[in-house]
Chains A and B, each alone.
Chain A
Amino acid sequence: AQRVTQPEKLLSVFKGAPVELKCNYSYSGSPELFWYVQYSRQRLQLLLRHISRESIKGFTADLNKGETSFHLKKPFAQEEDSAMYYCALVMNRDDKIIFGKGTRLHILP
Chain B
Amino acid sequence: EAQVTQNPRYLITVTGKKLTVTCSQNMNHEYMSWYRQDPGLGLRQIYYSMNVEVTDKGDVPEGYKVSRKEKRNFPLILESPSPNQTSLYFCASSKQGLRGSPLHFGNGTRLTVT
A residues apposed to B, CB below 8 Å:
6, 9, 32, 34, 36, 43-46, 49, 51, 86, 88, 90, 92, 94-102
A43 to B91, CA, bound (A): 11
B residues apposed to A, CB below 8 Å:
31, 33, 35, 40-45, 48, 50, 56, 58-59, 90, 92, 97-100, 102-108
A46 to B103, CA, bound (A): 7
A94 to B59, CA, bound (A): 13
Chain A's nearest CB lies how many Å from the CB of B40?
Answer: 6
Residues of A within 8 A of B42 (CB): 6, 86, 99-102
Answer whether A101 and B98 are a contact pair too, CB < 8 Å, given A45-B105, A96-B58. Answer: no
Q: Is the CB of A90 within 8 A of B43?
A: no
Determine which of B40, B98, B102 lies in contact with A95 in the assembled complex, contact meaning CB atoms within 8 Å: B98
Q: Is the CB of A99 within 8 A of B98?
A: no
Answer whether A32 and B106 are a contact pair too, CB < 8 Å, given A94-B56, A101-B41, A101-B42. Answer: no
Residues of A within 8 A of B50 (CB): 95
Q: Is the CB of B103 within 8 A of A95?
A: no
Q: Is the CB of A95 within 8 A of B43?
A: no
Q: Is the CB of B102 within 8 A of A49?
A: yes
